[in-house]
């Protein structure tokens, strides 16, 4: 397991360490101010190969003498709070943010040096304590008041991606906070010491509005159940959930600000009714202001989403800037005192360390990844073949039709109300087939057909819905729908049912027609076929291609010319794809000898190819036109191999790595465009894991 997954445990360790006080050998590591001066680093602390242990730990707290009490008083002038930080492993790079009553607080170390909003500590040895004074004139408070001070430690704040070896840090740059009450015995002096906030915000707006269905679906229902069996909606009475968008979109890795003057950032909070937060926006660990304030207060209400949004003048930022939002609780019963959004890299291409725009595909050498991050962002959920060089991109909030040849977005549309939909390219559009949604939940699982209905939704080239067709068991006995396919001309839908057969349904109406009875009683006359588990249409829409187990064949759309064959020297798991007159099969999982098979549907002949034992076990994909097949194998990274379907010749081998090993947790989504010689591999893009799309060229 890559330790960047375990980086989350660093935060857990900090919570415990922040509660511990005691004595240790004193050391004198450095404490640097003005962390924004730190440039990008090629050494990524979140990318580490090792055993499944905690990557590191860090802690911080008031440095109390033995038997001392956690009481801090302000008696005027500059306040000095004895403090310490400690860490081990990769947790020895620590940056502290300080707040007074939720207001960002600039400070200095040991009463010396410049005031800054973050000072970074680079510890030299594991588990040693760095002792110092947090020195500042409080930003809030007056005599007779008790004011809450919040100190948050950010994990590895010095790191910035160099956009070559790494491109982001996301939720791994977490933070852990501790809170202390400060008793004021004196008023604040006039014109207290402070570092000014950078005035880079405009049009700041604060709102608290009822959660819409779209907000709930996008933020609170898409992640599924937690380990405790609760959905995000169930947790809103006691917990606070946060979400951040950039120009209305969720972004997980980096944001290209090349040529842009401003970006609209919206930080949303919901849950724990009655809790009041003060929200700040940060660039390179320093708060941003609008000339009148550098934080904004908002109180959470039941059933509402609180939002603080602003235009960030990105044209005035450095070429690579760390950006995030933070919220500090100042009253109420929420469990979290300090909340931080994921860190995001704001990147200006052509600047220091940033990659320039990707060259055109024809200029790339084999295996060179293309940068399509503008359209292939973290919200991608699935990729589907379209016509020619087009691909259909399903995102969390809609559909996008993209032309790889021209690099243009051709159309955008809403997601059909289906669960687990597959998208079939048809003339001048697509057909989505999936389980009908009822009350916001799936009525059936994809292809199961146990209850509810399976629905075909037809879309035109603009991705607008033009019609629907419902699939149902023609026997009326409630048998399972096992598989389905849509003809390329869009006129027919074929489907199979368990212990029934193959049926054809015309889009323009009428009852489903039985093309072939397929069940255990007709196994012999069907060439050994007893169940159809996958289906396709031939290129001219005149024949239905089918497979079940080790059997495969075709039948005309009028039920004539049925043919079926089976393998003699290959143990098939099942067919994984059809294109270019060829049907592709992976090997039985329990055999795993590395074999796969290609069947020619013109004469039902087949060829078996044999590769390494790591391949052919379900990780087999077919190119759009059938000229190539792709295998994938995971061993710390995902190795993609592209082969020619005619000669089994290896065209490309490329290993994809990522700092976030969670992206490898699900099966990859692979599409390959024969003519353009481009292979797209989508990783992640499920639950809370952002998608990563790698675009490879090959010869």
CA distance 476 to 500: 11
CA distance 455 to 447: 10
- Residue 589: band (very low, low, confident or very high) from pLDDT cuts 50, 70, 90: confident
The boundaries of every CATH 2.60.40.10 domain in the chain are: 1-195, 196-355
pLDDT at residue 192 above 70? no
Candidate from 64-73, 161-170, 245-254, 557-566 with smallest mean pLDDT: 161-170
Q: Which range has highest mean pLDDT (43-52, 246-255, 257-266)?
A: 257-266
CA distance 562 to 552: 11
- Look at residue 32 in the predicted model and tell me its pLDDT: 53
Q: What is the pLDDT of residues 504-521, one digit of tens each?
A: 999 988 899 999 999 999
The alpha carbon dihedral of 107, 108, 109, 112 has a sign of: negative
CA distance 25 to 387: 68
Asked if 375 contacts 390 with a C-beta cutoff of 8 angstroms, the reply is no
Q: Is 165 exposed, middle or buried (0-12, 13-18, 19+ CB in 10 A)?
A: middle
Q: Which residue has the higher pLDDT, 495 or 592?
A: 495
What is the average pLDDT score of the chain? 81
Q: Which range has highest mean pLDDT (294-303, 336-345, 582-591)?
A: 294-303
- Look at residue 592 in the predicted model and tell me its pLDDT: 66
Candidate from 65-74, 351-360, 588-597 with smallest mean pLDDT: 351-360
Mean pLDDT value across residues 49-56: 49
pTM check: above 0.85 = no
By three-state DSSP, how is residue 218 classified? helix
Classify residue 556 as left (phi > 0), alpha (psi -120 to 50) or beta.
beta
Radius of gyration of the chain from its Cα atoms, rounded to whole angstroms: 30
- Domain 1-195 = CATH 2.60.40.10: yes
- Look at residue 6 in the predicted model and tell me its pLDDT: 23
CA distance 198 to 635: 45
Parallel, antiparallel or unpaired: strands 72-74 and 175-184: parallel
- Look at residue 30 in the predicted model and tell me its pLDDT: 46
Q: What is the pLDDT of residues 252-303, one digit of tens each?
A: 778 889 889 999 999 999 988 999 999 999 999 999 999 999 999 999 999 8
Run of H or E residues at 17: helix 3-17
- Look at residue 430 in the predicted model and tell me its pLDDT: 96
- Look at residue 415 in the predicted model and tell me its pLDDT: 93
Q: Which residue has the higher pLDDT, 545 or 256?
A: 545
Candidate from 136-150, 435-449, 675-689 with smallest mean pLDDT: 435-449
- Residue 122: band (very low, low, confident or very high) from pLDDT cuts 50, 70, 90: confident
Candidate from 181-185, 253-257, 400-404, 689-693 with smallest mean pLDDT: 253-257
pLDDT at residue 671 above 90? yes
pLDDT at residue 211 above 80? yes
Asked if 131 contacts 22 with a C-beta cutoff of 8 angstroms, the reply is no
How many of the other CB atoms lie within 10 Å of CB of 461?
15
Reference 536, options 626, 614, 467; nearest CA is 626
- Look at residue 250 in the predicted model and tell me its pLDDT: 85
Mean pLDDT value across residues 55-59: 75
Read off φ and ψ for residue 234, nearest 5 degrees: -65, -25
Q: What is the pLDDT of residues 389-440, one digit of tens each?
A: 899 999 999 999 998 887 888 999 999 988 889 999 999 899 999 988 653 3
- Residue 351: band (very low, low, confident or very high) from pLDDT cuts 50, 70, 90: very low
- Look at residue 366 in the predicted model and tell me its pLDDT: 58
Q: Which range has highest mean pLDDT (8-17, 183-192, 291-300, 397-406)?
A: 291-300
Scanning the structure block, which residue is given the tokens 């038997």?
Answer: 67
Q: Is 471 exposed, middle or buried (0-12, 13-18, 19+ CB in 10 A)?
A: buried
Reference 631, options 663, 678, 584, 566; nearest CA is 584
Q: What is the pLDDT of residues 610-644, one digit of tens each?
A: 875 555 445 889 999 999 999 988 878 888 999 99
- Residue 359: band (very low, low, confident or very high) from pLDDT cuts 50, 70, 90: very low
- Look at residue 617 in the predicted model and tell me its pLDDT: 47
Mean pLDDT value across residues 552-564: 96
Q: Which residue has the higher pLDDT, 62 or 372?
A: 62
How many of the other CB atoms lie within 10 Å of CB of 156?
25
pLDDT at residue 221 above 80? no
- 91 CB contacts (<8 Å, ≥6 apart)? 10, 13, 14, 55, 56, 57, 58, 155, 156
Mean pLDDT value across residues 101-129: 90
Candidate from 145-154, 316-325, 327-336 with smallest mean pLDDT: 327-336
* DSSP state for residue 513 in the 8-state scheme: E
- 131 CB contacts (<8 Å, ≥6 apart)? 26, 63, 82, 83, 84
Fold of 196-355: Immunoglobulin-like (2.60.40)
- Residue 350: band (very low, low, confident or very high) from pLDDT cuts 50, 70, 90: low
Asked if 434 contacts 415 with a C-beta cutoff of 8 angstroms, the reply is no
pLDDT at residue 22 above 90? no
- Look at residue 521 in the predicted model and tell me its pLDDT: 92
Spell out the long-range contacts of 642-649 with Cβ–Cβ below 8 A and sequence spacing 24 or more: 642/672, 642/679, 642/698, 643/609, 645/580, 645/582, 645/584, 645/598, 648/609
CA distance 46 to 88: 15
pLDDT at residue 446 above 70? no
- 520 CB contacts (<8 Å, ≥6 apart)? 499, 530
Scanning the structure block, which residue is given the tokens 């500059």?
Answer: 78
pLDDT at residue 243 above 80? yes
Partners of 657 in the β-ladder: none
């Amino acid at each position: 397991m890559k330790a960047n997954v375990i980086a989350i445990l660093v935060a857990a360790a900090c919570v415990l360490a922040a509660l511990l006080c005691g004595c240790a050998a004193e050391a004198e590591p450095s404490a640097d101010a003005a962390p924004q001066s730190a440039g990008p680093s090629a050494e990524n602390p979140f990318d580490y190969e090792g055993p499944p242990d905690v990557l590191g730990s860090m802690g911080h707290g008031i440095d109390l003498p033995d038997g001392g009490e956690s009481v801090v008083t302000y008696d005027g002038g500059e306040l000095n709070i004895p403090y310490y930080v400690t860490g081990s492993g990769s947790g020895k790079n620590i940056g502290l943010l300080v707040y007074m009553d939720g207001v960002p607080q600039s400070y200095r170390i040991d009463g010396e040096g410049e005031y800054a909003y973050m000072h970074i500590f680079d510890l030299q040895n594991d588990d040693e304590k760095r002792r110092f004074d947090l020195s500042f004139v409080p930003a809030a408070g007056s005599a007779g008041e008790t004011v809450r001070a919040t100190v948050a430690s950010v994990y590895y704040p010095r790191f910035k991606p160099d956009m070559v070896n790494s491109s982001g840090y996301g939720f791994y740059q977490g933070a852990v906070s501790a809170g202390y009450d400060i008793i004021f015995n004196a008023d604040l002096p006039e014109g207290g010491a402070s570092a000014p906030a950078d005035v880079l915000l405009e049009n700041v707006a604060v709102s608290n509005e009822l959660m819409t269905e779209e907000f709930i679906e996008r933020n609170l229902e898409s992640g599924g159940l937690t380990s405790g069996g609760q959905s995000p909606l169930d947790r809103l009475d006691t917990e606070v959930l946060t979400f951040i968008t950039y120009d209305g979109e969720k972004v997980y890795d980096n944001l290209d600000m090349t040529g842009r003057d401003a970006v609209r950032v919206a930080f949303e909070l919901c849950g724990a009714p009655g809790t009041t937060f003060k929200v700040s926006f940060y660039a390179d660990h320093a708060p941003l202001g609008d000339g009148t304030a550098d934080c904004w207060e908002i109180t959470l209400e039941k059933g509402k989403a609180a939002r603080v949004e602003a235009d960030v003048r990105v044209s005035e930022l450095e070429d690579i800037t760390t950006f995030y939002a933070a919220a500090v609780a100042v009253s109420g019963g929420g469990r979290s005192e300090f909340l931080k959004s994921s860190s995001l890299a704001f990147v200006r291409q052509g600047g220091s360390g940033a990659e320039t725009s990707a060259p055109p595909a024809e200029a790339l050498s084999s295996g060179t990844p293309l940068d399509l991050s503008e359209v292939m962002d973290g919200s991608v959920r699935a990729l589907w073949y379209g016509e020619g060089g087009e691909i259909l991109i399903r995102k969390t909030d809609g559909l996008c039709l993209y032309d790889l040849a021209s690099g243009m977005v051709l159309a955008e549309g809403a997601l059909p109300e289906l669960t687990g939909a597959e998208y079939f390219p048809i003339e001048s559009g697509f057909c989505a087939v999936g389980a009908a949604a009822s009350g916001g939940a799936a009525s059936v699982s994809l292809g199961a057909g146990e209850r509810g209905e399976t629905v075909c939704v037809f879309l035109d080239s603009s991705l607008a819905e033009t019609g629907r067709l419902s699939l149902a068991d023609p026997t009326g006995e409630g048998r399972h729908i096992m598989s389905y396919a849509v003809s390329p001309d869009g006129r027919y839908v074929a489907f199979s049912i368990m212990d029934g057969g193959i049926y054809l349904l015309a889009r323009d109406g009428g009852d489903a027609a039985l093309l072939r009875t397929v069940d255990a009683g007709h196994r012999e006359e069907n060439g050994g076929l007893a169940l159809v588990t996958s289906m396709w249409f031939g290129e001219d829409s005149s024949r239905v291609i089918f497979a079940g187990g080790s059997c495969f064949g075709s039948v005309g759309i009028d039920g004539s010319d049925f043919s079926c064959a089976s393998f003699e020297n290959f143990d098939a798991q099942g067919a994984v794809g059809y294109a270019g007159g060829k049907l592709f099969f992976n090997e039985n999982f329990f055999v795993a000898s590395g074999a796969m098979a290609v069947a020619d549907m013109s004469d039902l002949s087949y060829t078996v190819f044999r590769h390494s034992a790591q391949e052919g076990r379900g990780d087999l994909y077919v190119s759009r036109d059938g000229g190539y097949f792709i295998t994938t194998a995971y061993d710390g990274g995902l190795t993609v191999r592209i082969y020619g379907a005619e000669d089994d010749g290896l065209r490309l081998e490329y290993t994809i790595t990522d700092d976030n090993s969670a992206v490898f947790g699900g099966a990859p989504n692979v599409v390959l465009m024969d003519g353009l010689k481009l292979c797209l591999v989508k990783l992640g893009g499920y639950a809370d894991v952002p998608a990563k799309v790698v675009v490879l060229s090959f010869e």
